[in-house]
Amino acid sequence: MTLPERIGKYAIERMIGRGGMSVVYQAIDPEIQRAVALKVIEKELLDEGERSIVLARFKYEAQAAGRLIHPRIVTIFEYGEDDRNAFIAMELVRGDSVHELLLREHQPALERVREVILPLLDALEYSHAHGVTHRDIKPSNILIGPKGEVKVSDFGIARIESSALTQYGLVVGTPFYMSPEQCMGEDTDARTDLYSAGVIAYELLTGRRPFPGKGSNASVMREVLDNIAPNPSELNRKLNGQMDYVIQKALAKKAEDRYQNAREFADDFRLAIDDCIEGAFLTASAPTTVETPQIGFSSDMLDLARKVRLPNADSLDFTDEPASTPAAEASVPGPAAQEAPKARILFVDDEERILNALKSIFRSKYHVFTATSGDQAFEFLKRFRVHLIVSDQRMPGMLGVELLRRAKELSPTTVRILLTGYSDLASIVGSINEGEVYRFINKPWNNQDIQGVVAEATAIGVELADTAVAAAAPPEKMDEAILVVDPSDSYKRAINELFGDAYHVIHVATLSAALGVMQNRAVAVIVADIGPAQSEDTAGFKLLKQEHPEILSIVLTDASDSELVIDLINQAQIFRFLNKPINYKLLKSHVQAALARYASFKQAPELTKQYQVSGADKLRATSLGRALIENIKRLRSFIPRFR
């Protein structure tokens, strides 16, 4: 091919790439002697009927990408046209693309994958925030500079959301990397780019595309639409269940089931890839003498469950056979009987890769059982005692919140944790109000964090396993007060009307004022109005619960931020949440439940352990934390038996 000497003002040096409609040259801007990449469309090669559409898209490319000034995106310098050509002058990135990287390395090192995917998602987060969807993310469009810097190029079919180019019904993209909605010719948005990024991550991690395809583009698109890709960990033993979760979520067929923005994808991918690099799953998966089958309720599984030794086997209530049978005693021979028994954990999730990942982390330290639905798990709980149940939220048959509610009724001393990849505020609030969860853990988890939380939870479960919990009713009268923390007095009036005849009701405007009252007055229940910006109150709750887990807190809030609620669950052990406007029938029910729980604490003070919190060390070190903790320490030790 004969190179043109000049296009516009640019002197052509060599061709560096060719696409479906365009050619890319390395060229020189003679006015400032700057090397550029010049993307060129020769007008006469375009079909006359489509020429205006193609050139319009090409111009929109320049306008879209020209708005994006970001270190991870190739910079556009100029758009121009002459009689023969339309062209875009852009930053020249000297180096390779991810396409060349994959040709050289079948399965790049995980560190290298991290260095590609996180910058890619950073670029997409920025472009999406500016209303620009790329729509052709593929390895050849991800450039790697000589120092390893990653830049996204070729917004050739990107569109500004207000453009109307898609009215022509054009299906655009590269089949291997196209999202299902692109394959169907449907509307696309930022989640299309996230799908393509997921395909590239899959290819880098495993050395193959999730949908390799054979033959025509149509067959590739059909595979994208109809098939589910194998889990990456099946193709690369260095990967784990967390990475499977992240990639499969990115590759979800329905856009609403995928990551909704690049930041979510990046945060989850970072956790997963770091755990894979550290090899935490490999070191935690040593073989054990106890098999951890998935629940199917075979006779072998039931026998195994009966044989597991617990701190006090006689306290177990097996449905069809007591735990202290000769078979149970014989299951631990000789000296092993002197070893500290392992705690029992039941993990519940409808995704087997998640269960496999959790088993690999915990089976060397605990007896681990798994179930793939809430119904299966509940049937197991009716037969056997466990110290900890960790449940996903969205499962077939029975949601996690319902399972944890039933588990609380069936076995009050079993500690409950909700583990989920969804930040649905209603489900989070339900997990507290109905399931009384000990902690809320997000998928994908951090291995160190989840091991710490599970260790705390199982220790509590083991300690409480032999505690008899009698149903307690709210006392008719009590010396301890109900404290209402509210800048106004509206909720105080409501609490007074509901409980003022039987209980002392005190009103203060802030938690700091509440701490002053509590130095001279015993308090059983706090009802507090907390808004998103009231950081002092949220900090105070965290520190108060560390010192006094027996005080039960009910939060009234109009906050829509699920992170605030999760934070209060994990660090302040809030007893109940109520969204504004307040349903006073629910408010009455929640306060009665808190009073009844407080009465049960008097009967069995060790139950307060389920309401202990930790992890506020950083908060204690702040000036606000120091001031609050001094106030809290001055509180009367009004119920010595709780210590």
* Residues that are catalytic: 136
Which residue, 607, 618, 528, is CA-closest to 571? 618
Contacts of 543 (CB under 8 A, 6+ apart): 616, 619, 620, 625, 628, 629, 632
- Give the Cα-Cα-Cα angle 454, 460, 463 (nearest 5 degrees): 135
Query: Max alpha carbon distance in the chain (Å)?
Result: 97
Distance CA 151, CA 93 (A): 8
What value does the CA radius of gyration of the chain take, rounded to a whole number of Å?
30
How many Cβ atoms are within 10 Å of 333's Cβ, its own excluded? 8
Contacts of 627 (CB under 8 A, 6+ apart): none
Distance CA 639, CA 200 (A): 60
Contacts of 458 (CB under 8 A, 6+ apart): 343, 345, 366, 387, 388, 415
Distance CA 116, CA 561 (A): 31
Tokens 């010049």: give the residue: 38
Distance CA 201, CA 118 (A): 10
Q: Which residues of 42-65 are buried (b: 16+ CB within 10 A; e: fewer)?
A: eeeebeeeeeeebeebbebbbebb
Sheet strands side by side (includes 552-557): 504-508, 481-485, 523-529, 552-557, 576-579
Q: Calculate the CA dihedral of residues 414, 417, 419, 422 and round it to 10 degrees.
A: 130
3-state SS, 481-517, equals: EEEEECCCCHHHHHHHHHHCCCCEEEEECCHHHHHHH
What's the burial of 404, exposed, middle or buried (CB within 10 Å: 0-12/13-18/19+)? buried
Distance CA 506, CA 63 (A): 63
Which residue, 250, 249, 232, is CA-closest to 241? 232
**Cα 283 to Cα 232, 356, 447, distances in angstroms:** 19, 15, 12
Question: Residue 387 in contact with residue 462, Cβ under 8 Å?
Answer: yes
Residue 622 corresponds to which tokens in the numbers above? 């702040």
Element spanning 16, H or E: strand 10-18
Contacts of 340 (CB under 8 A, 6+ apart): none
How many Cβ atoms are within 10 Å of 384's Cβ, its own excluded? 21
Distance CA 251, CA 257 (A): 9
